[in-house]
């Protein structure tokens, strides 16, 4: 785990000094994060990097994970899809299962922190334990067009929180509590994002039997229908009519996503042993994911819905040209024709990928611009600063917080 001093060459001394001053103002406050999984997905990834840095800064921080069985996570996956606007039949039985598991977690999870920071819908009902401490609800998903039945159910809990946090302006909803807009971030010094020697990149390609004889198109994501891996394969097949290339689809599943195995099977069937399509099942092997991104010619993120899309930030940080869907938080990272190319369809994605493969200098420039955008806006140090300001705002009302 990198220390704060190691970020200075990337973000500057003044940024780290600001973090230390803010942390001083939080002395004596205990911050408690709660989510539904210790690994898999962006929330766990961010907390794995953020919690140790908060502790290094002297902020008393802990991270708890709720418990849940297959039925509970089946229901919360339904909620997840429904909040993204996908058609889901959510029944009264589903709500009962959610509340039964929530009741057990309410009994078992200690929520005595001065600030209790709840991430996403799975642990939302813990708010029933609120006393005189401060509670935040962090929504990491795109709720711009939520299923109203599920949203109204969640609103019964959201209204009891002190504040809510969203990732993008378009996700914001009308609420009688204060809202904050804070984008997620990547850690430039994590195994997934740090510089790698070319020898390591080549070693990973050899391990997975991926030759370097032609351009490589890659999507790194959970195997989730909302990430549209089948659409990525269709895009690749269209591109390959004109440019000889390879496709890598790499990722794993989250422990709170029971649909993952079924999606992997659908992807494998669609690929049908095509020797130029490499489907890699990887769970928490960040060095290898880093190497695959660095080996790629073009990186895609063809999500149908997206909370933010940290894999886009990861690719841009490595200076790679990105083709991504114009959904969720992706347009915050990709400015069309400046730091990447946005698309709205399989045909649009294929056209963009072909353009980048045929114009390497243009692709290089987009990658350079993308890296600077991430440096300026989406690194962990910025995220830490905004979270600490948020924590302080809970105790200072509308007052200005001076550094």
In the predicted model, what is the mean pLDDT of the chain? 92
| Number of domains the chain is built from | 2
Ranges of beta strands (E only) in 70-193 are 115-119, 134-138, 163-166, 178-181
Long-range contacts of 142-145 (CB under 8 A, 24+ apart): 142/83, 142/84, 142/168, 142/170, 142/171, 142/305, 142/306, 142/307, 142/327, 142/328, 142/329, 143/83, 143/84, 143/171, 143/173, 144/85, 144/170, 144/171, 145/85
* Structural domain span for residue 153: 4-185+379-396
Same domain as 99, residue 76: yes
Task: Give Cβ neighbours of residue 80 (< 8 Å, ≥ 6 apart).
Answer: 121, 141
What's the pLDDT at 45?
Answer: 87
Query: Which pLDDT tens digits describe the chain residue by residue (403 residues)?
Result: 889 999 999 999 999 999 999 999 999 999 999 999 888 778 888 999 999 999 999 999 999 999 999 999 999 999 998 998 877 889 999 999 999 999 999 999 999 999 999 999 999 999 999 999 999 999 998 888 899 999 999 999 999 999 999 988 888 888 999 999 999 999 999 999 999 999 999 999 999 999 999 999 999 998 988 999 999 999 999 999 999 999 999 987 766 667 778 888 899 999 988 999 999 988 778 999 999 999 999 999 999 988 888 899 999 999 999 999 999 889 999 999 999 999 999 999 999 999 999 999 999 999 999 999 999 999 999 999 999 999 999 987 654 444 3
Same domain as 142, residue 72: yes
Same domain as 27, residue 154: yes
Same domain as 136, residue 279: no
Q: Of 380, 297, 308, 369, which is closest to residue 335 (Cα–Cα)? A: 369
In a domain, 140, yes or no: yes
Same domain as 385, residue 373: no
Same domain as 31, residue 180: yes
In a domain, 102, yes or no: yes
Domain CATH number, residue 32: 3.40.50.2000
Q: How many residues does the chain have?
A: 403
What gap in Å lies between CA 7 and CA 12, rounded to an integer?
7
**DSSP label at residue 379:** B
In a domain, 12, yes or no: yes
Same domain as 100, residue 90: yes
Taking the whole predicted model, whether its pTM rises above 0.85 is answered as yes
């Amino acid at each position: 785990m990198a220390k704060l001093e190691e970020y200075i060459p990337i973000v500057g001394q003044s940024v780290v000094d600001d973090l230390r001053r803010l942390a001083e103002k939080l002395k004596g406050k205990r911050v408690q994060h709660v989510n539904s999984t210790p690994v898999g997905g962006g929330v766990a990834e961010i907390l794995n990097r953020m919690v140790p840095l908060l502790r290094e800064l002297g902020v008393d921080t802990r991270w708890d994970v709720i418990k849940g069985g297959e039925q509970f996570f089946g229901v919360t996956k339904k909620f997840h899809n429904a909040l993204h606007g996908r058609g889901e039949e959510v029944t009264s039985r589903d709500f009962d299962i959610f509340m039964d598991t929530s009741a057990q977690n309410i009994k078992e999870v200690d929520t005595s922190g001065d600030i209790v920071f709840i991430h996403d819908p799975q642990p939302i009902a813990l708010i029933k334990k609120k006393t005189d401490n401060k509670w935040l609800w962090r929504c990491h998903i795109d709720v711009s067009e939520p299923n109203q039945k599920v949203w109204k159910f969640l609103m019964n809990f959201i209204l009891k929180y002190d504040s809510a946090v969203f990732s993008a302006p378009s996700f914001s909803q009308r609420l009688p509590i204060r809202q904050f807009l804070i984008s997620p971030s990547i850690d430039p010094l994590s195994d997934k994002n740090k510089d790698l020697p070319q020898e390591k990149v080549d070693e990973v390609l050899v391990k997975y039997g991926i030759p370097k004889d032609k351009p490589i198109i890659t999507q790194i994501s959970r195997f989730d229908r909302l990430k549209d891996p089948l659409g990525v394969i269709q895009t690749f097949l269209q591109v390959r009519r004109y440019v000889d290339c390879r496709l890598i689809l790499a990722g794993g599943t989250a422990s709170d996503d029971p649909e993952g195995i079924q999606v992997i099977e659908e992807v494998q069937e669609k690929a049908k042993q095509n020797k130029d399509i490499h489907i890699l099942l990887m769970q928490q092997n960040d060095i290898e994911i880093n190497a695959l991104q660095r080996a790629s010619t073009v990186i895609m993120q063809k999500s149908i819905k997206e909370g933010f899309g940290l894999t886009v930030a990861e690719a841009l940080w490595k200076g790679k040209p990105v083709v991504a869907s114009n959904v969720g938080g992706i347009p915050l990272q990709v400015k069309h024709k400046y730091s990447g190319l946005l698309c709205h369809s399989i045909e649009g994605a294929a056209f963009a990928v072909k353009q980048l493969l045929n114009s390497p200098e243009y692709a290089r420039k987009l990658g350079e611009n993308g890296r600077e955008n991430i440096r300026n806006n989406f690194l962990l140090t910025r995220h830490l600063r905004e979270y600490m300001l948020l924590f302080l705002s809970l105790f200072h009302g509308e007052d200005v917080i001076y550094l």
